[in-house]
Amino acid sequence: MSIIQTIRERGAKVSVVLIALALIGFILTDYFSGKGRNAFGGSGGTVGRVNGNKIIFEDFSKKVDQTEESMKQQGYPSGGALRQQAIDQTWNQEINRLLLTDEFDKLGIDIGKKELGDILYGPGAPDDLKKQFTDEKTGQFNAIAAKTAIDQMLKKKAKTPEEQAQKDNFNNYIYQLELQRKEKKYVSLLANSTNLPRWYAEKLNSDNSQMAKISVVKEVYTSIADSTIKIEDKEIADYISKHKEDYKQEESRTINYVTFSASPSAADSIDARNKALAIKTTFDTTQNLQQFLASEGVNNYYDGYINGKTIQISAKDSIFKIPVGSIYGPYLDGGSYMLAKLEGVKQMPDTVKVRHILVATMQRDPQSGQMYPTRDTASAKKLIDSIQTAIQNGSNFDTLCVKLSEDEGSKDKGGVYDNVPSGNMVAPFNDFMFLNPVGTKGIVKTEFGYHYMEILSQKGSGPAYKIAYLPKEITASSETDNNASNLANQFAGDSRDEKSFNEVFEKTLKPKGLLKGIAADIIPNSAEVRGVGVSRSFVKNIYAAKRGEVLKPERIDNNYVVAIVTETFSEGTVSVNKARPSAEPVLRNKKKAELLKQKAGKVITLEAVAAAWGNKTIETIDSLRINGKGSVTSLGYEPRVNGAAFNPANKGKVVPEILEGINGVYVIRVESVSSTPIAGANVADQRKGFYDQTKQYTENPQSPVYPVNALKGAATIKDNRASKF
């Protein structure tokens, strides 16, 4: 990362060596030797298998690190949730890679050198690559510059492990782009094979042109009370065995839990406010503000002026009104009590255009983020003085900038930064460009070195403020934490099993306003328990416990959690109890249908059945379509009735069987079946519409018929992640 990119986040061309870092940030970010973290509990071996192909733990761990770092660069907050998301994303990528690689090999799908060039530098070049090599003046992607820079980076011999890691990561980036293109080819190959035969389209039109007139007598299932129908466990079990695909389950657990808050109390909030008040006088009288703030743990003090329009704090209007040198507060801001000292007010432009030449004394390591010296101060000052003298004597600024400036983010643009708002540069740089008039030239020293600067133009105007902030965070005291911990330990100690867990809760905790939660479907690889928070160790403890076992209190976020394992489910077929809510209504309706059939007796006439069911009305439906649409919709969706109505063998007859439907049972007489024209029945248009719709559906990664999803459904996948981390 260039010096000024560190000072101000701007898109710009970067040095050849660092191009890979910027690109890989969106797909595979840096994994430097000795820098990778191993958050897994296991080591070595395999994370899983896909159709017998191993996913090696070490390789998988590195890819997880890369994915996590990439997500951080994109703005995702760090923490256990991000780690788990990176693990899950990497797992899915590895499954896809292994499944698709086999398919590519079978079909001979590959990427040639010319096609790879098109992927990287053609009209569809990756956005992250375009971002680095788009001319700001024309807005056009400079493919030649991109290719030249990348070729140089790849050809350059790596001298350090970090440089080698950069090259390796960029090669991985290219590999991912190739996989994406191959997958697109594979999906297109299958999606483009979609076809609706002409004969089938004509058959659909013929079927849809038919219109039936039927007479029907019906009895709904709700005519029999549910309480009169009993479904035994054996019936549920038999139903499950016949519908195993519908009753699969993955391994999971259910817990009951109680949380004991260790969040800051009202007393803790008062304590933080009192601490802010106690230090207010010292804050007001200190002679070395920056040193004082650093001693209080404030290391981000900005010793510069910022336009009031860009300051985004809730109390800014009150702070702007106090006299210079005064302190406002303490006031509550988020989880802290704040003191704000107004150090100065000046009129400033809204934005500035400036150019500069940097002679660096410090650089930031792009891998570690740490600053390291590159030149001594005396040498840097001597060089910047000579640059100033040369320009004063008529030397060309642009030429000197390209040759001598060490800000890689601006040197190729003549050192120019345009439309810069206040507060985006380090304070000395910021104040020089905002507090001096257009045309001012001079040398400015910052933490990065010496800058020769020239103010080119300024826009707008408004008051700017220099403000020092001193926060006192509201934190839980040891007393608050100990109280929560003691309550949790006492409850866990009194709860030996599920019965005592519930009894103790009802007797001692519920009256205090505490709640008992339920968390279900906790899978082995999860890191988050809904309602509790993110804690991989908590999930592992749940799986280490037996059913009915009370877990030791565990600190998760600002709570101590006491949980009991109430249910354990093994991978396979669901239990009778778990299946009952969905299976019981189906079986109950089937029993009701049998009772109604028995009540109706043998079907001879609709009138006889109507009488047997309690003088039911015989309804006439005179425009029923095979797709269920008709002028009368009282039937609802009843495909069996439709099927019987359009069965040629039933034309002009009473259907001799009672039809079991979704909402009830039906007896029908088919009065007639005729044909009517179908509007818009253009076979060519229908075939094209079917092709377009099916192709779009097949190419949607969320669709169950997306080829990769279909491959997963047919694959044998063994997941060992739970034993590794």
- Position 257 in a domain: yes
Residues 102, 225, single domain; the answer is: no
Task: Indicate whether 685 belongs to any domain.
Answer: no
Range name among 43-52, 481-490, 556-565 with the lowest pLDDT average: 43-52
Point out the domain boundary residue: 428, 459, 490.
Answer: 459
| pLDDT per position as a tens digit, 424-443 | 899 999 999 999 999 999 99
- Across 331-352, average pLDDT: 95
Answer whether residue 603 is part of any domain: yes
664 with 219: CB under 8 angstroms?
yes
Do 716 and 30 contact (CB within 8 A), yes or no? no
pLDDT tens profile 54-97: 999 999 998 898 888 878 877 788 888 889 899 999 999 999 99
- Do 41 and 167 lie in one domain? The reply is yes
Would you place residue 580 in the very low, low, confident or very high pLDDT band (cuts 50, 70, 90)?
very high
Total count of domains within the chain: 5
Starting at the edge strand found earlier in the chain, the sheet holding 462-473 runs: 306-307, 462-473, 336-348, 327-333
pLDDT at 156 over 90: no
CATH number of the domain within which 546 lies: 3.10.50
431 and 366 within one domain:
yes
Lowest mean pLDDT among 22-26, 513-517, 556-560: 22-26
Are the C-beta atoms of 362 and 448 separated by less than 8 Å? yes
Least confident of 145-149, 288-292, 577-581: 145-149
DSSP letter string over 350-367?
SEEEEEEEEEESEEE-TT
d(CA 51, CA 717): 6
State residue 369's pLDDT score.
60
Residues 560 and 599 in one domain: no
Kindly compute the dihedral angle of the four CA atoms of residues 97, 103, 106, 110, in this order, to the nearest 10 degrees: -60
Residues 181, 216, single domain; the answer is: no
Beta strands in 86-235 (DSSP E): 210-220
Dist. CA 380–CA 361, nearest whole Å? 7
- For residues 387 and 357, the answer to whether their CB atoms sit within 8 Å is yes
Beta bridge partners of 472: 337
Q: Are 66 and 28 in contact (CB under 8 A)?
A: yes
Asked if residues 639 and 227 have their Cβ atoms less than 8 Å apart, the reply is no
Q: What is the pLDDT of residues 210-254, one digit of tens each?
A: 999 999 999 999 999 999 999 999 999 999 999 998 999 999 999
Q: What is the pLDDT of residue 154?
A: 82
Question: Rounded to 5 degrees, what angle do the CA atoms 211, 214, 218 make?
Answer: 135
pLDDT band per the 50, 70, 90 thresholds, residue 171 = confident
In a domain, 204, yes or no: no
pLDDT of 361 > 90? The answer is: yes
Last residue of a domain, one of 513, 544, 570: 570
Is it the case that residue 368 has pLDDT exceeding 80? no
- The mean per-residue pLDDT over the stretch 113-132 comes to 88
Q: Percent of the chain beyond pLDDT 70?
A: 91
CA distance linking residue 312 with residue 467, whole number of Å: 12
198 within domain boundaries: no
- Does the structure show a pLDDT above 90 at 383? yes
Give the model confidence (pLDDT) of 186-206 as tens digits: 999 999 998 999 999 999 888
Report the pLDDT value the prediction gives residue 44, as an integer from 0 to 100. 62
Assess whether 552 and 539 both reside in one domain: yes
Q: By C-alpha distance, which of 657, 660, 666, 610 is closest to 634?
A: 666
Question: Are residues 341 and 358 both part of a single domain?
Answer: no
What stretch of H or E contains 526?
none
CA pair distance 721, 724, nearest whole angstrom: 5
pLDDT tier at 151, thresholds 50, 70, 90? confident
Closest CA to 251 of 40, 520, 39: 520
**Would you say residue 376 lies in a domain?**
yes
> Does residue 156 belong to any structural domain of this protein?
yes
Residues 230 and 377 in one domain: no
| 85 shares its domain with 102 | yes
Q: According to the model, what pLDDT value does residue 17 have?
A: 28
pLDDT averaged over every residue in the chain: 88
- In this structure, the answer to whether residues 80 and 184 fall within a common structural domain is yes
User: 553-556 long-range contacts, Cβ below 8 Å, gap at least 24?
Assistant: 553/260, 553/485, 553/488, 553/489, 553/492, 555/262, 555/485, 556/532
Looking at the fold, whether 368 and 495 belong to one and the same domain comes out as no
C-alpha distances (whole Å) from 707 to each of 54, 96, 105, 106, 346 are: 22, 10, 16, 15, 64
Of the pLDDT bands very low, low, confident and very high (cuts 50, 70, 90), residue 677 is confident
Q: Would the pTM of this model clear 0.85, i.e. be above it?
A: no
No. of helices (H) and no. of strands (E), the chain: 25, 25
Domain that holds residue 24: 3-191+715-724
User: Are 565 and 580 part of one and the same domain?
Assistant: no
Q: Is 573 in a helix, a strand, or coil?
A: strand
For 355, half-sphere exposure in the C-beta direction (CA atoms, 13 angstrom radius) is 17
Q: Indicate whether 538 belongs to any domain.
A: yes
Question: What CATH number is given to the structural domain containing 441?
Answer: 3.10.50.40
Element of type H or E holding 335: none
